[in-house]
Chain A
Amino acid sequence: MRTIFGRLLKLNLIYWQWMSLSVLLGAATIGSSLGLMSTSAYIIAMAALQPSIADLQLAIVGVRFFGISRGVFRYLERLLSHQTTFRLLARIRIRFYEGLEPLAPAHLLDFQSGDILARIISDIETLQQFFLRVLAPPLIAAIISILAGLFIARYHLPLAWLLISGLFLAGVLIPGLIRSLSRGMGQRLIQTRAKLQATLTETLQGAADLLALNADHAQLKRVNEINRTFLLLQRQTGRFQALGDALSGWVIHLTIAAVLIIALPIVSNGGLSGVDLTVITLAIIASFEAVLPLSEAFQNLETTLAAGRRLFEVIDAEPTVKDPLKPLPRPETFELQSEALSFQYEETGPLAIADLSFHLPEGGCLAIVGPSGAGKSSLVNLLLRFWDPSGGRILLGGQDLRDYSASDLRSWMAVLSQNTQIFNGTIKENLLLARPEASEEQLIEAARRAQVHDFIMNLPETYETWVGEGGVLLSGGERQRLALARVLLKDTPILILDEPSANLDPLTEQAFFDSLCEIIEQRTTLLISHRLVAMDLADQILVLHHGRLIEQGDHISLLKAGGFYRRMWDLQMQAEVVERIPNLNFNRNSCFKLS
């Protein structure tokens, strides 16, 4: 079954034993009510005939049993169903992660914002409802319907059919009809809801612009209109649902009346006793408890299906990059080269890189600069084989990058970027990520070389200090140094520095590049930046603009040439002196190479 429902079901069925037990307990809960009401009815109906008390003893015990068992069953059912649900949740998380992992980061590009990732996570949490509120209620309802039907059939078969029809009408037909009638409304409700949320967000984010443009009242009116539409739709769907609930409630009484109309003549001619009549009536009333939650299950079915659809959409995508059947071994040298490289993210999209050729010898340092959108990050994505080029090729050690396996390739490269994630864990855990088998000495050595060891030693729990979500407990500079230590620990022949000093204040930036000098010496290095910092580290600088190479040379010659690079430099200096002068002596590009 490839439908969303089928796939969700398959995911759920791993725990079918637990689920079955939990459904049985749920049925036992309602069964207890059924038992309680029918035995109670039996007691008073029998008592009315004034038999000896001994005839009632068993029923009295029964009533007491059912009175207690219902609560106990419910308790056990809740515990078990939640246990199962949490196990399922874990299962769904893992399944999703396993599906997502091969796709990263190409297919995650659209999810980069935390909001969308957060939505995925809430979708996963929605899916835990699938068993609890979608699958279990109809199963319980079915069991109770059959049980109650069999029970009534013992008295008179047509009455049982009547009951089953009543249960079906109240539990399935009416809610189903209501749902299908209000489906269009529901769709519009979801759309309006999304629109309202988006408009609220933009109103807050653009508040300064709105107020300054005197457009705040117009925007407020716009929000108000969307809000009113949203609430109107909400009321309309609510009205429909309430109608369904009321109708289902009415069906119970309709069923009772119908049962009475059939049963009374039979009682009159002695086919059924008055005791039977009383028991039948109360049992029927009690059995409807099983079908009333079904209207909610219909609603939950829709939300879980929607959540499931979104999740499967994400993980069903084909991985962008495929490994060769026979990947090449580690190359002899780590020189990098590109030939007439071009790349676009989407077939119809603009060229992110156009006809780019460069050569980076082993141990050299190549800088790639240009304004944002010049194609710098795309190049990094190609080097790491997160994507493959649309045209031309990249060579590593003289061989096409596509002939290596992606994971081998990544094991030869270390990346230091502004997006490097520091995970919610201890400093040590974060460092070990780069090399799990690293010894204590190696950790400290790497931290020392990244000039972060002293800082770590001053923390309350040194290397065991918790860094918080995304490393929030660290400053930008500390995070970046920790990331550098991680890169050093990985100790790879190729080093990619992607805007390594973004978010650093000037003083820290200076120190940061000082610590980089030595490290760069020993590796093949690619330095990517939109700001012209530490450019004298590079043997060669490529200036990209709109994906094209427009200038190249070293720092001095590019400055001298007075072209685009020079203008970038002037603009940057104009801005930077303002920021820096009051705070420190102006002193840039002072990276003295140690040799």
Chain B
Amino acid sequence: MTIEITPREPSSSPTTLSFRSPMNLDQRLLKLAYNLPLPLFLSVLLGFLAGICLVLQAYTLSKIIYIVFLLHGSLQDVYPLLGGFLGIALLRATFTWTSDVTAQHLASHIKADLRHRLLDHILSLGPSFIRQERTGEMVSILFEAVEALDAYFSQYLPKLALAALIPTSFLFFIFPLDLTTAVVLAFTAPLIPFFMILIGSATSTLTQRQWRVLSRLSAQFLDTLQGLTTLKIFGRSREQVKFIAEMSETFRQSTMNILRVAFLSALVLEMVATISTAIVAVEIGLRLLYGRMSFDHALFALLLAPEFYLPLRSLGARFHMGAAGVTAAKRIFDILETEEPIYKAVQHPMLSKIPRITFHKVHYQYEDRGVAAVQDVSFCLHPGNKLAFVGPSGSGKSTIADLLLGFIRPSQGTVFVDDLPLDSIDPSFWRSFVTFVPQKPYLFDGTILENIRLARPKASPSEVQQAAELAQADPFIRDLPNGYDTQIGERGQRLSGGQVQRIALARAFLKDAPIVILDEATANLDPENEFLIQEAVSQLIKNRSTLLIAHRLGTVIDADQIMVMHEGRMLEAGTHTELMDQKGLYARMMAAYQGSTSQTSLETSGLIGENV
């Protein structure tokens, strides 16, 4: 937004220099179509047959007019031809329809398969991959990019084949009847794809720039709308109208400069087709005049001439679908070709009731970051123990949870479960042993009941309620207008952070797995909720192994072992007493905490002096 627009060049993005097929044929997309050869073949064949029908119609029509006009035949004489004309027309309509439907079928199947594969792949790439990308961007790939392939398969690809087949076959019919016309058509036809590609490639950079301008304009408008409250507070909201007008005007001017060139392609396409038709008309007219040609052949040629260019023009009108399809394919295959970091292990080994977990010299480095997130971490979580990780955010605590859940694999070192490497166990089998209570649990569209039941789809309502009771969630759920059947996110039914946390705990109780990974919430400062959550947690971790990712000191004190993390490394490890004796970082944190709330801080604030 703001006072004046200062147009800036968007940072010059490296334009893709890679070879791009001028006809938008992407190998990977073609392979998808080859996997369903029948529908594609059928669609093209039916479309081709519709084209042949057209030739037959032109033929019967020219015959009818010829008979009546020059042979002075009557209506009765041409009845059979007229019947044939209508019959062929019906046939042609049927072919066109079935061809379209078959192509839609093809596109639909490809999209169904692709969307499924994409989502499956993204899920197996795991949350750490998803976190790297923007969710909105990925949803747009899953939805819009896949949809963009619809037009590619249902329209562009069949039209491309037909643009080659139909004009060629027309030539076969025209050649024997009228060589000159055939030559005119045969020589002008290639001009259309030629100019299409020529102008297409010349304008494609221009078009791209136009898109950038448009998206910048939209972004600026969005910026203004989002900041409307701020503008209003500054009393500047009304005058933005002028700015929006200026912005739009600049956009119009720059876009029109581009379109003036881009529309030339339309001009050329029209010109080639109409001028050739005009040439054919004059050329056959003159030969008719000198009696060198029969009228029915001439009319036949004239009827076919515009139809000859139609498939090429209709391809031209769909050229952008092809380009959009190839662009979409790139986005889709970029994800599909990202390798899965997790082995597809299938083992379902016998594990102990509460498996022992050992990290042995584990390193992990995110691809896009220089520093390792976790370095040389070793520890053992014995059955029934509580192991707490403490350290500032970014110290690697969450990475340990991701490793243990099998969302990522160590770059070096090994995670053992009992004595088996975690890599060798089927991830979903392993996850049935682990409960994860994340920092910000996600609630899905549906009722509270359904959300808790995600942990065990077969659980009965009373089991769900029991879990909610243990998680201290039952009272507030009952207070909701529809109790357990309340839809999440219904108007005014937003749950507080602490309530969401308790629903996640209810899931954990319901899942009833022997190992609990608990990522403490940081943003929840509501003492009331905090108390209830601590109650529920202490219930949950009874008789289970617990890995606690702690963000506050109060919850770690009673842990069997406390690991102090800093910048991906384990600085200290031991029980509370041991660590206090070490007088390291942990002891300093404790001291600072106590200092902040107890005598020292109150003293410095002057409280003690004031009171005593």
Contacts and interface: CB of A to CB of B under 8 A. Distances in A.
Interface string B203-239: 0000000000000001111111111111111111110
B350 interface: no
Given A36-B278, A104-B229, A264-B78, A250 B93 contact: yes
Given A93-B221, A115-B136, A434-B234, A242 B100 contact: yes
Contact of B274 (A36, A249, A570): A36
Given A580-B392, A581-B592, A582-B566, 16 more contacts: A40-B302, A41-B299, A43-B281, A68-B275, A105-B232, A118-B218, A204-B138, A211-B126, A212-B436, A212-B517, A223-B119, A242-B104, A250-B90, A253-B89, A536-B605, A556-B610
A71 B267 CA distance: 5
B384 interface: no
Nearest to B517: A212
Given A74-B267, A235-B108, A211 B89 contact: no
6 contacts: A94-B245, A121-B221, A278-B65, A348-B492, A573-B593, A582-B566
A67 interface: yes
Contacts of B280: 40
A157 B264 CA distance: 40
Contact of A265 (B74, B227, B284): B74
B101 A211 contact: no
- The 4 A-B residue pairs whose C-beta atoms are closest, nearest first, are A274-B69, A67-B278, A90-B248, A421-B227
B164 interface: no
B370 interface: no
B544 interface: no
Contact of B85 (A50, A257, A349): A257
B101 A238 contact: yes
B104 to A, nearest CB: 4
Interface in B432-461: 432, 434-436, 438, 441-445, 454-455, 457
A261 B75 contact: yes
A395 interface: no
Given A93-B221, A267-B69, A570 B75 contact: no
Nearest to B498: A371
A253 B84 CA distance: 11
Contacts of B285: 40, 43-44, 46-47, 56, 60
B289 A47 contact: yes
A371 B64 CA distance: 87
Contacts of A589: 605
Contacts of B65: 274, 277-278, 281
Contacts of A235: 104-105, 108
Interface string B250-283: 0110011001100110111011001101111110
A108 B237 CA distance: 14
Contacts of A207: 122-123, 126-127, 130
A242 B102 CA distance: 11
Nearest to A67: B278
B605 A555 contact: yes
A124 to B, nearest CB: 8
Given A48-B295, A90-B248, A224-B116, A41 B302 contact: yes
A410 interface: yes
Interface stretch (A95-103, A138-146, A358-366, A445-453): A95-103
B343 interface: no
Interface residues of A, number: 173
B4 interface: yes
Given A60-B282, A67-B278, A93-B248, A245 B525 contact: no
A239 interface: yes
Contact of B275 (A44, A67, A83, A242): A67
A575 B228 CA distance: 35
Contacts of B116: 220, 223-224, 227
Interface stretch (A300-308, A335-343, A515-523, A559-567): A559-567
A214 B428 contact: yes
B291 A50 contact: yes
Interface residues of B, number: 172
Contacts of A586: 592, 595-596
Given A41-B302, A108-B228, A117-B222, A220 B120 contact: yes
A507 interface: no
B431 A214 contact: yes
Contacts of A384: 233
Q: Is the interface of B mostly helix, strand, loop or mixed?
A: helix
A247 B89 CA distance: 10
Nearest to A208: B127
Contacts of A371: 496, 524-529
Interface in A230-281: 231, 234-235, 238-239, 242-243, 245-247, 249-250, 253-254, 256-257, 260-261, 264-265, 267-268, 274-275, 277-278, 281
Contacts of B255: 82, 86
Interface in B63-107: 64-65, 68-70, 72, 74-75, 78, 82, 85-86, 89-90, 92-94, 96-97, 100-101, 104-105
B371 to A, nearest CB: 15
Interface in A407-421: 407, 410-411, 413-415, 419-421
A48 B62 CA distance: 13
Nearest to A118: B222
B68 A67 contact: no
Contacts of A223: 116, 119
Nearest to A111: B225
A530 B523 CA distance: 10
B497 interface: yes
A572 B29 CA distance: 55
A425 to B, nearest CB: 4
Interface in B577-606: 585, 588-590, 592-593, 595-597, 602, 605-606
B607 A559 contact: yes
B228 A578 contact: no
A6 interface: no
Contacts of B3: 425, 429, 432-433, 436
Contacts of A265: 74-75
A72 interface: yes
A196 B264 CA distance: 40
A423 B75 contact: no
Most-contacted residue by chain A among B154, B525, B595 (CB, 10 A)? B525
A519 to B, nearest CB: 17
A414 B116 CA distance: 51
A346 B61 CA distance: 71
Nearest to B268: A71
Contact of A211 (B123, B227, B504, B511): B123
Interface in A121-146: 121, 124-125
Contacts of A63: 278, 281-282
A245 B524 CA distance: 59
Contacts of A97: 224-225, 240-241, 244
Nearest to A532: B525
A423 B286 CA distance: 70
Contact of A466 (B8, B590, B592, B610): B8
Contacts of A414: 233
Given A211-B407, A217-B428, A253-B57, A245 B100 contact: yes
Nearest to A46: B285
A210 to B, nearest CB: 7
A410 B74 contact: no
Nearest to A104: B228
Contacts of B443: 206
Given A48-B69, A71-B274, A556-B602, A469 B223 contact: yes
B312 interface: no
Nearest to B248: A90
B345 interface: no
A379 B154 CA distance: 56
Contacts of A275: 69
A79 B244 contact: no
B405 interface: yes
B237 A104 contact: yes
